[in-house]
Amino acid sequence: MDEFEILFGKYRAGVERFVKFRLPTLADAEDVLQEVAITACEKFSQLKNQDAFQAWFLGIARNKCNDYFRKKAKELEIPLEEVPEQELSYGRHGVTIEDTVRETLSTLADKDKQILYLYFWKELPQAEIAKHLNIPIGTVKSRLHTAKQNFKKQYPYQTEKVKGEETMKTLPKLLPNYTIEKSEEAPFAVKWEELIGWFLVPKLGEELSWGMYDMPSRECNHVYDLKVTGKAMVHGIEGVELTAREASYSGKKEVINRTFVAQLTDTHCRYLATMRTDGDVRNYITFLDGDAFMTSWGFGEDNCGNETNLSPKGDIKREGNVVTSADKEFLLDIVGRYTVTIGGKKYDTVCVMDIETYNAGVVSEQFLDKNGRTILWRRFNRDDWAFDRYGKKWSEQLPENDKLIINGVTYVEWYDCMTEYVV
């Protein structure tokens, strides 16, 4: 018996339960499971780490289920390919794009998908929907209400909302003026233990606040208060639990609370789980849950996480605003040494660049001091990033913002982040 047969036999029952639970009929589930088995067999040689077989196997099953629902949607005149699936949400690295709408729709009953499509995407009045479906308008109202509630229950990124709280105001409303000057000295190696995208070191006793600043206005739009709350165990792996408390800097007194589990080792820092709220149930999504977790929170090969011991590799080279990179799947590298002056204070830093490793079309600059703490983080969007959503290139939307030319392609600064470590 070969390795694939052993692993397939070990995890087959769990995948069968997953598919049979999601699909409406046993016959359909069996057809999809056959496709899953064939695909897994054909692509097994591409799996680099066999310890990740379960998550990889579940990912194939999830994709095949989505293919099934897309086919069903066409039969119901719901062109899911035209649905604006790309929903802005927060992942391991700030604002990212998710297939949240499509994924959620795929879990709903046919009647729910149909009426939501007609009402929200076709924008038909309820009276027109009644005529289209040949049902009374009262039935339309009842069915629409039910479909909305079912969508909310299944939407995978719901969070706890607490009204009446106010965020800490330790961060300035406007991002202080800053300059970034290239140093002639060689970049230094650094121990970087922060969670990628959230700036907190996942150790007991750690806490931190940071702000997100729009550019070029430099106005703070959100403040995040993070704190490690205790030890946690996920699938036998020990880490720490942390909470992230998000609030808009101005206006609404509404706070969103998130909970994660992360692990810090001598070599890597990674997310193990994130909590979402399904009604009154606290549901943890873990690194074994395939795309449901990996798309937003996984990083590195088989979710090994980001390296903590950083030194220049030569994978990314930078001269001014012109950047070239090696042809590799994961591109995170120190590209030089810089003096960052912000709020009148000077910081000796190295610049760590991340080129599209966590989100296609997104690049980040992260300036770390010798303590491995973030002094300034800047996000750049490829000029055509999310063009279908915004209808304009970023160079047209934000013509005043800084730009990078990476492998001949233009990227435009979107927003910056600064932590209380700098204040």
DSSP 210-229: EEEEETTT-BEEEEEEEEEE
Measured distance CA(357)–CA(305) in Å, rounded: 11
Tokens at 373, concatenated? 């703490």
Higher pLDDT: 334 or 131? It is 334
User: What distances in angstroms separate CA 251 from CA 45, 95, 225, one per listed residue?
Assistant: 53, 21, 18
**pLDDT score of 41 more than 50:** yes
Measured distance CA(180)–CA(211) in Å, rounded: 19
Highest average pLDDT, of 111-125, 163-177, 389-403, comes from: 389-403
Of the candidates 244, 340, 255, 260, the residue with the CA atom closest to the CA atom of residue 298: 260
Each residue's pLDDT tens digit, 55-106: 888 889 888 887 887 777 666 666 555 554 444 444 555 544 445 566 677 6
Measured distance CA(62)–CA(18) in Å, rounded: 8
Q: What is the DSSP string of 129-151?
A: HHHHHTS-HHHHHHHHHHHHHHH
Question: What is the maximal distance between C-alpha atoms in the chain?
Answer: 75
What pTM did the predictor assign? 0.67
Of the candidates 160, 121, 125, 396, the residue with the CA atom closest to the CA atom of residue 278: 160
- Decide: residue 371, CB within 10 A, 0-12 exposed, 13-18 middle, 19+ buried: exposed
* Averaged pLDDT, 399-414: 96
Q: Which helix (H) or strand (E) holds 63?
A: helix 53-75
- Pick from 89-93, 174-178, 271-275, 376-380: least confident: 89-93
Measured distance CA(282)–CA(201) in Å, rounded: 24
User: What distances in angstroms separate CA 104 from CA 41, 296, 366, one per listed residue?
Assistant: 28, 15, 33
Q: Residue 252 has what pLDDT?
A: 53
* Averaged pLDDT, 125-148: 87
**pLDDT score of 154 more than 90:** no
Q: Residue 88 has what pLDDT?
A: 41
**pLDDT score of 166 more than 50:** no
Higher pLDDT: 292 or 111? It is 111
Higher pLDDT: 286 or 85? It is 286
- Pick from 26-35, 114-123, 256-265, 266-275: least confident: 114-123
Strands in 66-117 per DSSP E: 87-91, 94-98
Higher pLDDT: 140 or 79? It is 140
**pLDDT score of 170 more than 60:** yes
Sign of CA dihedral 33, 34, 36, 37: positive
Q: What is the DSSP string of 342-394?
A: ETTEEEEEEEEEEESSSSTTEEEEEEE-TTS-EEEEEEEEETTTTHHHHSS-H
**pLDDT score of 271 more than 50:** yes
Of the candidates 42, 31, 36, the residue with the CA atom closest to the CA atom of residue 14: 36
The domains of the chain, with CATH numbers, are 3-154 (1.10.10.10), 178-419 (2.40.360)
Q: Residue 158 has what pLDDT?
A: 46
Measured distance CA(233)–CA(265) in Å, rounded: 14
Each residue's pLDDT tens digit, 332-388: 899 999 999 998 899 999 999 999 887 789 999 999 999 999 999 999 999 999 888
For 202-235, b/e burial (b = at least 16 CB within 10 A) is beeebebbbbbbebeebebebbbbbebeeebebe
CB of 339 within 8 A of CB of 348? yes
Higher pLDDT: 400 or 357? It is 400
Measured distance CA(417)–CA(213) in Å, rounded: 6
Highest average pLDDT, of 40-54, 97-111, 309-323, 326-340, comes from: 309-323
Average pLDDT of the chain?
A: 83
Question: pLDDT band for position 117 (50/70/90)?
Answer: confident
Question: pLDDT band for position 397 (50/70/90)?
Answer: very high
Measured distance CA(103)–CA(58) in Å, rounded: 15
Q: Which helix (H) or strand (E) holds 40?
A: helix 26-43
Q: Residue 14 has what pLDDT?
A: 80
- Pick from 78-92, 137-151, 209-223, 272-286: least confident: 78-92
Question: pLDDT band for position 280 (50/70/90)?
Answer: low
